Amino acid sequence: MTMQFSDIAAQAMADGAIAPEEIQVLRQLGWADGRMDPDEAESLFVVNDALIQPTREWCDFFVEALANFIVNTVEPSGYVDQEMADELLFRIDRDGRVDSLAELELLIRVLEIASTAPVSLRSYALQQIEAAVEHGEGPTRHGELAPGGINATEVALLRRMIFAAGSAGPASVCQAEAEMLFRLKDVALYETNAPEWQELFVQGVANFLLGFAGPEPLGAERAAELEAFMNAEGAGIGGFLSRMLTSDVEDAFGSLLSGPEAEGLDWEAEAEAAAHLEPAEADWLRDQLDADEDLDDYEKALIAFIDAETGESFVPRPHG
């Protein structure tokens, strides 16, 4: 770590604030040799802890610099192993929670740009948002964010997490994540929620039921094949998944395979085959719906979406 980098970091810690021009200097110094060293990375965590009101410029720099360090500087490049994940969680965890929105965004960015990451990393990040919604406090509840319900910030972070390339698989939602969406829906059912929340709930659960995930995450080889299929020029992936892959989700995926390696894959047929509720999937959905007495608007929207995609009529278990 250079003396100037150290001096700026020390001044920011003393002041509890950092100016845009100082952030720019840190950015230049941190990548002066093309790499950020561990001491510089640690100093950014310390500065973030000291800032009284972190600015958007600081948060963007903090996330970009440290995500690049964690994923691309530490060997093996492009991957996050369990040791690195444990170190990251140890650094940001405060009695089971993360206090800083910048640190939560760092977790999500790491998941987005890493080819693979331990399940523990994603689970921890998802738990932070679930706890914030349930208890009405947490890193997503600062500033002008509403004290109740699921806000737009949380919807955006959830979407990025469950569709991150380093999560259960590219463009796939696993069973644990689908069940989490149901829990969040129930907790915030009678609160004022962001308009985007119902769309994410429906898309996320339907992706688990009609997509490629299944109860277990895709294996590395199958995930690579699916990602190659999605990235292949001119490839179609069926009505449901093509609508699922909005630009923000697509941007989160790096190309694992391209060109000749992507030829010969039959994912279109698999997409069509997946757009059907198997008996076990239908039973799982009925179990989720049976958790409360009546179908709410979110559940009705989900059923209508599934009916439209499968061309079949899903029938919930009768109550009473």
- The pLDDT value recorded for residue 77 is 82
Structural domain containing residue 241:
74-310
Q: Do 40 and 116 lie in a common domain?
A: no
Residue 292, both tokens: 């409360």
| Residue appearing with tokens 């059923």 | 303
- The pLDDT value recorded for residue 37 is 83
Q: Do 69 and 94 lie in a common domain?
A: no
pLDDT of residue 288 exceeding 90, the answer is: yes
- The pLDDT value recorded for residue 178 is 93
Q: Cis peptide leading into 20, omega within 30 of 0?
A: no
Q: What distance in Å separates the CA atoms of residue 249 and residue 263, rounded to the nearest whole number?
A: 23
Q: Give the mean pLDDT of 54-70.
A: 91
The verdict on residue 80 lying in a domain is: yes
User: Based on the structure, what is the number of domains in the chain?
Assistant: 2
Backbone phi and psi for residue 78, each to the nearest 5 degrees, phi listed first: 90, -10
User: Which of 77-81, 283-287, 300-304, 316-320 has the least mean pLDDT?
Assistant: 316-320
Q: Do 92 and 110 lie in a common domain?
A: yes
- The pLDDT value recorded for residue 154 is 87
Q: What is the pTM of this model?
A: 0.71
Q: Do 43 and 187 lie in a common domain?
A: no
The verdict on residue 217 lying in a domain is: yes
Nearest to 172 by CA among 196, 134, 206, 138: 206
The verdict on residue 318 lying in a domain is: no
pLDDT of residue 215 exceeding 80, the answer is: no
Q: 169-190 pLDDT, tens per residue?
A: 445 788 989 999 999 999 899 8
Q: Do 269 and 138 lie in a common domain?
A: yes
pLDDT of residue 211 exceeding 60, the answer is: yes
Q: Do 179 and 38 lie in a common domain?
A: no
- The pLDDT value recorded for residue 233 is 45
pLDDT band per the 50, 70, 90 thresholds, residue 152: confident
How many of the other CB atoms lie within 10 Å of CB of 38? 11
Q: Do 90 and 114 lie in a common domain?
A: yes
- The pLDDT value recorded for residue 32 is 63
- The pLDDT value recorded for residue 99 is 78
pLDDT of residue 279 exceeding 80, the answer is: yes
Q: Which residue has the higher pLDDT, 13 or 164?
A: 13
Identify whether the C-beta of residue 183 lies closer than 8 Å to the C-beta of residue 176.
no
Q: What distance in Å separates the CA atoms of residue 252 and residue 254, rounded to the nearest whole number?
A: 7
Q: Do 175 and 43 lie in a common domain?
A: no
Nearest to 124 by CA among 196, 188, 61, 176: 176
User: Which of 29-38, 60-69, 91-100, 114-123 has the least mean pLDDT?
Assistant: 29-38
Q: Give the mean pLDDT of 259-273.
A: 48
Domain C-terminal end among 37, 54, 73: 73
Q: Give the mean pLDDT of 291-306.
A: 90
Q: Do 128 and 98 lie in a common domain?
A: yes
The verdict on residue 315 lying in a domain is: no
The verdict on residue 317 lying in a domain is: no
- The pLDDT value recorded for residue 202 is 93
- The pLDDT value recorded for residue 147 is 61
Q: Which residue has the higher pLDDT, 245 or 89?
A: 89
Q: What distance in Å separates the CA atoms of residue 232 and residue 249, rounded to the nearest whole number?
A: 16
* Eight-state DSSP code of residue 220: H
Q: Do 187 and 232 lie in a common domain?
A: yes
- The pLDDT value recorded for residue 22 is 93
- pLDDT over 70 for what percent of the chain? 72
Q: CB neighbours of 123 closer than 8 A, spacing ≥ 6?
A: 176
pLDDT of residue 249 exceeding 70, the answer is: no
Give the CA dihedral 224, 226, 228, 234, nearest 10 degrees.
180
**What are the C-alpha distances in Å from 174 to residues 109, 148, 210, 213, 243?**
19, 27, 11, 6, 19
The verdict on residue 231 lying in a domain is: yes
Q: Which residue has the higher pLDDT, 89 or 28?
A: 89
Identify whether the C-beta of residue 113 lies closer than 8 Å to the C-beta of residue 160.
no
The verdict on residue 124 lying in a domain is: yes
pLDDT band per the 50, 70, 90 thresholds, residue 251: very low
Q: Do 161 and 60 lie in a common domain?
A: no
- The pLDDT value recorded for residue 145 is 46
Domain C-terminal end among 16, 46, 73: 73
Nearest to 45 by CA among 110, 2, 103: 103
Q: Do 80 and 64 lie in a common domain?
A: no
The verdict on residue 206 lying in a domain is: yes
Domain C-terminal end among 73, 108, 123: 73
